[in-house]
Amino acid sequence: MAYLSLVLKGMAYGVTHLIPGLGGGLILILLGVYEQFVDAIGNFFVNRSKWKEYIPFLLALGAGTALSMVIFARLITLLLERYPSATMFFFMGLMVGTIPTVLRLHDDMRLTAGRGAALLAGLLVGVVLRAMDPRGSQAAHATSISGIGGTIYNAFTSFLAGGASVAPGLDGSYIWILAGTYEPIMEAIGAVSGLVVDWATLISTGIGALLGILIFSKLIDEAIKRAAAISYYCVLGIVGGSVYGLWPGGPARSHVLILVTAFAAGLALALMFGRPIHTESSVAESSQD
């Protein structure tokens, strides 16, 4: 039963890789396995004595993650194709809805000069990422993942996405959106259920994301342990910048009600996920801030 529970938790974690706004690190915290995950990933190659603990845990969690991504990727691709603006407003609602949860990730989240600077720095990162987007808006055409150049580019952006997926309040799929690789990655993952395999896309995505998770999990864990509140304020800034980055452009007036409803649905879902927050990291010391 313990392994089945881990598989189900892995499925919840897998969905976060597909939907911008459902941060993978945040979901792992809510499921009560964040510290165990970061420990297993960050120390896998340096603490072989715990392999008997790490390997079953990671296999069960990884199996659930892969399964949910294959199951739900096709659905998300369909929604983006048929209802792009409404889908993006749903994602924006999810992003905004994570803010109260991030504010509860640490016992002492009062605003100070240093934390305010971290907030502005994070906001700047989110805005700059959007400004660097050559497509101008998410509704534009996706980047094709083909040839050596496209494969290397996808591996690099997936590396960044993997790192973002383990940070509380952030998510890797947003990096893919800005990079223009979100839709082709979703299509490649969804096609697996029909036994169609795009090896170049899947391998470059998998290797890049895995390396990002391995490297950034240790860095993020250290940052949270040393300066938790400052780290979370930086996350809040990035979340704010991400909402700007997800804006799909100027929607038609006739669609306003649909867009507001989609935003509200995303907001409600994020608030529902964030409500029962009992985090392991909330006990981190604030004296370092």
Count: domains in the chain: 1
* pLDDT tens per residue across span 35-56: 788 788 877 777 788 888 889 9
* DSSP code at position 136: S
Round to the nearest angstrom and report the end-to-end CA distance of the chain.
41
Q: What is the pTM of this model?
A: 0.66
Domain span including residue 155? 2-283
Is position 139 within any domain? yes
Greater model confidence, 190 or 248: 190
Is position 205 within any domain? yes
Q: State the Cα–Cα distance between residues 77 and 171, nearest whole angstrom.
A: 18
Q: Give mean pLDDT, residues 99-122.
A: 86
* pLDDT tens per residue across span 180-232: 788 888 888 888 877 778 888 899 999 999 899 888 877 877 787 788 889 88
Among candidates 157, 120, 156, 136, which has minimal Cα distance to 245?
136
Is position 240 within any domain? yes
Is position 288 within any domain? no
Is position 78 within any domain? yes
Q: 189 and 73 in contact (C-beta within 8 Å)?
A: yes
Angle (CA) 174 72 194, round 5°: 120
Q: What number of CA atoms fall less than 13 Å from residue 205's CA on the CB side?
A: 26
Q: State the Cα–Cα distance between residues 167 and 279, nearest whole angstrom.
A: 14
* pLDDT tens per residue across span 22-35: 667 767 766 778 77
Q: 236 and 167 in contact (C-beta within 8 Å)?
A: no
Is position 49 within any domain? yes
Q: What is the pLDDT of residue 38?
A: 79
Is position 64 within any domain? yes
Is position 289 within any domain? no
pLDDT tier for residue 129 given thresholds of 50, 70 and 90: low
Q: 247 and 92 in contact (C-beta within 8 Å)?
A: yes
- Tokens at residue 281, please? 């990291």
Q: At residue 159, does pLDDT exceed 90?
A: yes
